[in-house]
Amino acid sequence: MGDVLIKVRGLKNQFGPNVIHEGLDLDIHRGEVLGIVGGSGTGKSVLLRSIVGLQKPVAGSITVFGVDLRTAPRAEMARVENRWGVMFQDGALFSSLTVRENVEAPMRERTGLDAETRRALADLKIAMVGLPPKARTLYPSELSGGMRKRAGLARALALDPEILFLDEPTAGLDPIGASDFDVLIRNLQQSLGLTVFLVTHDLDTLHATCDRIAVLAERKVLVTGTIRELMRVDHPWVRSYFHGPRAHAAMLAAEG
C-alpha cells in the first residue's frame, strides 16, 4: 500500500449529549479508493466533514499530507485544501452560476489563473466527467440529477486534487446511471492517480470502485479490509450488510 495520506487518531465528535465518534482511528493510503460504510447515522458524513475541516472535532487529531489540521497555520491549511476536492451528496452547486462558472469557482477563489485559462480548464474538467459541451452554459436547475452529480464532480476536480472526497456519489441515481458513475470514478481515479475517500451505501459501488472498505459502527472504525475480508467478520451489522440479499446480488453482478 502507498504511504498514509490521511491519518485520523482518537477522533471524537459529539452534538450535545449525542456522541457520534469516540476513539476513531483511520488511515487512508495514497492511491487507494477507500469506501466508508455504516448504518444510517453512524457518522459517515460527519467523518468526511471533520477531515475537510467543516466539522470541528471535540478531540483527536487529523493529519493530511503530514500536516496536523488542528495546529496548521491558515496559509498551510489553504495549501492542503488546494490538494483535495470534495463532492457533496447533492452536488452543492451554486444555483445562480452555470456549470462552467461553478467549475471555475474554486480556481477563481484559490488561484491567480486568468479568465481564459480558467475557462479552458473548466471546459476540460466538464468533458472529463462525461458532460456534453452544451452543459457548460446550463444552470444546475436545468440539469438532470445525474448531470448535477457530474457537474459536482467536475468542480471537485477543478484544482487537480490528489485526494477526492465523495459523499454518496450514486445516491438518487437509477441503477444504470449509478453504474456509469462507478465506472467514471474508477477511470478518473486510475488515470489521474487519485486517492479517494468514498462514503456510500451502495454495495455495487463498493464492488466496482473500492480497494478497501472501512466500517463505521459503535462510534469508531470497527474494521477495515477488502469485501472478502469483511465477509468473514463476525459482527451483526457487518454480517447483515455483507451477507444480505442485496450483498449477494451485488457480488453476483460484480463477478459478472
Ligand X SMILES: Nc1ncnc2c1ncn2[C@@H]1O[C@H](COP(=O)(O)OP(=O)(O)OP(=O)(O)O)[C@@H](O)[C@H]1O
* CB nearer ligand X, residue 42 or residue 224: 42
Q: How far is the CB of 246 from ligand X (least distance, A)?
A: 15
Strands 163-167 and 4-15: unpaired
Q: How far is the CB of 207 from ligand X (least distance, A)?
A: 19
SS3 state of residue 42: coil
Q: What is the Cα–Cα distance from 106 to 85, expressed in whole angstroms?
A: 10
Q: How far is the CB of 64 from ligand X (least distance, A)?
A: 19
* CB nearer ligand X, residue 38 or residue 146: 38
* CB nearer ligand X, residue 46 or residue 107: 46
Chain position carrying cell 475517500: 197
Residue 55 DSSP class: S
* CB nearer ligand X, residue 110 or residue 235: 235
Q: Which three cell numbers stand for residue 148?
A: 448535477
Residues 39-78 that bind ligand X (CB under 6 A): 40-46
Stretch of 33-41, 184-192, 206-214, 218-226 contacting ligand X, by CB under 6 A: 33-41
Question: Residue 38 interacts with ligand X (CB under 6 A)?
Answer: yes
Q: How far is CA 132 from CA 54, 99, 125, 140, in A?
A: 32, 11, 11, 14
* CB nearer ligand X, residue 110 or residue 246: 246
Residues facing 31 on adjacent strands: none
Q: How far is CA 139 from CA 69, 110, 143, 153, in A?
A: 35, 22, 7, 15
Question: Residue 193 interacts with ligand X (CB under 6 A)?
Answer: no
Which residues bind to ligand X, rule: CB under 6 A?
Answer: 15, 20, 38, 40-46
